[in-house]
Amino acid sequence: MKNEKKIQQSINRREMLKKSGLALAAAPFYFGLNSCVSGAKKTMDADVIIVGAGLAGLNAALLFEQAGFKVKIVEATDRLGGRVHTAKESDVPGHPELGGNGIGGGYARVLDAAQKYGVSMGPMRPRTEARKGELVYRIKNNFILPEEWPTHDLNTLPEGYRKGLPAYVTWGHFGKINPLPENDLAAWRDPKYKDWDKSTYSVLKDEGFSDDDIKLVMGTNSSYGVDAQNISIMMYFQILTWIGQQNASTGKGGAIVGGNQRLPEAMAAAFKQDIMLSSPVKSIASEADATTITLDNGNTLRAPYCLVTLPASALRRIQISPSAQGIQQKGFQNLDYTPVVQLHYVPKKKYWEEDGLPPSMWCDNLAGRFMALKNDLQDPDRVTSCVAFLNSNVALEIDKMKQEDAIALVTKTLEDIRPSLKGALDFTYYWTWVNNPYAGGAYAYWKPGEITDFANNLADPIGRIHFAGEHTAVMNRGMEGAMESGERAAFELMDLLG
């Protein structure tokens, strides 16, 4: 409780400074104790400048600080956490996660940080998975209950794949053919498995799936990538091996009480040095004895080393000197991120009681996964909000539209397919990870051949510039992968700093 109070005081201090006018649009905002910046520095600003205040950057910063090094963090946006982002209660009741959601029992670094920095763990908060009996499929203009799907006339999937949610029916087969050793979380990068770094589409065609079947199971509401042709089956092998390790863990996962963003905020509150918010980086130069970081506003920072923790999609907007070469440059330019767009609503009535259908829907149209969320810890059966969670090509299509047009189209689609939703929903919040210059998507995905081509080289230093972020993680994924990468980079640089 004492730590939580301290965290809130630090956050309140930040809000107070913002309101006082210190956080001007054209100037960086400082979250720290010793802030100063000028256009021409004669001395170093820190031992390490960290670009990005997500979990990777914050974990690295705290490790540096504990080891006695001087650190500054530079963050482009006005908040902490990167792709860990919780909706405000004032925007969406129940404050659902907009970014990183579940915390597994094997998220050792995340769970340790939660305990260390005084945030409480609570139960998992499902976002795109409905409770048993609370989901109906909407496929080819038909409502189909899960128990009806295996024998339904519209189910044309091959024998052995007709039971279960379409997006998950292939996972069992992927598990059977997974060549990776169960206990080797780094094997997915081993060149000896390069023949498996091929399209998931080719694997499913070999199993007798038609193109329409593949579109249903891999191109509709897919949590990874866009479609089967553009994602490597090796990525699924990595995910399955990692899930196996998570399931074998004895730890207790869940979600952060109050939202997962409370964790990076707590980490930032524990960090005693500077975090410069609203400070996009324009360029980073590695020189003979230092790095120079130039912000969009023209101010510069200098340090012996720079640690960049941005996703590759965000790194593409920054000029790096000397530039990346060869396969690393290919990786920076080509690694893509899973498209995610979310439209949040507050239900004004119990529409599911009106039509007798389950409250949540898995749709093969612009409605995506329409989920009735239950995020009230005191009343866990109450629907607090609904979300149209869009992935794959649907997310890309919607994201190209003007926001007001996208909202109108998705809302109309929902009302057309389910009349009980007419007048039942108040739109409350729109969030996109796609049209976001500092993210470009929710998390990295690997296209066929990319793991073999450049996965092992994305974190290679460029002179004095080093790299971290979930896309550079070897053993873990998601939030834990980000923490792993920050830890790896911090120890790497400590060896150089001496």
CA 59/CA 40 separation, integer angstroms: 29
Give the whole-angstrom CA distance, residue 368 versus residue 230: 20
389 known ligand binder: yes
Residue 281, annotated ligand binder? Answer: yes
CA gyration radius for the chain? 23
Residue 377, CA distances (Å) to 104, 126, 374, 380, 428 in order = 19, 13, 8, 5, 21
Residue 259, Ramachandran bin (φ over 0: left; ψ between -120 and 50: alpha; else beta): left
DSSP string, 114-161: HHHTT--EE----SS-PPTTSEEEEETTEEE-TTTGGG-TT--PPTTS
Residues 6+ apart with CB under 8 A from 212: 156
H helix or E strand, kind and range, residue 240: helix 233-248
Residue 475: exposed, middle, or buried by beta-carbon count in 10 A (0-12, 13-18, 19+)? Answer: middle
Please state, in angstroms and rounded to a whole number, the distance separating the CA atoms of residues 171 and 391. Answer: 18
Return the ∠ at Cα 443 (arms to 56 and 276), rounded to 5°. Answer: 40
Does the bond joining 322 to the residue before it have cis omega, within 30 degrees of 0?
yes
Residues 6+ apart with CB under 8 A from 308: 51, 52, 284, 315, 318, 465, 466, 467, 468, 469
Expressed in angstroms, the distance from the first to the final Cα of the chain is 37
Beta-bridged to residue 14, according to DSSP, are none
Task: Name residue 295's beta-bridge partners.
Answer: 281
Residues 233/269, Cβ–Cβ less than 8 Å: no
| Cα distances (Å, whole numbers) of residue 168 to 175, 193, 221 | 12, 24, 10
Residue 187, marked binder:
no
CA dihedral 185, 189, 195, 198 (to 10 degrees): 90
Return binding residues for substrate. 389
**Residue ranges at the known binding site for FAD:** 75-76, 281, 470
Return binding residues. 75-76, 281, 389, 470
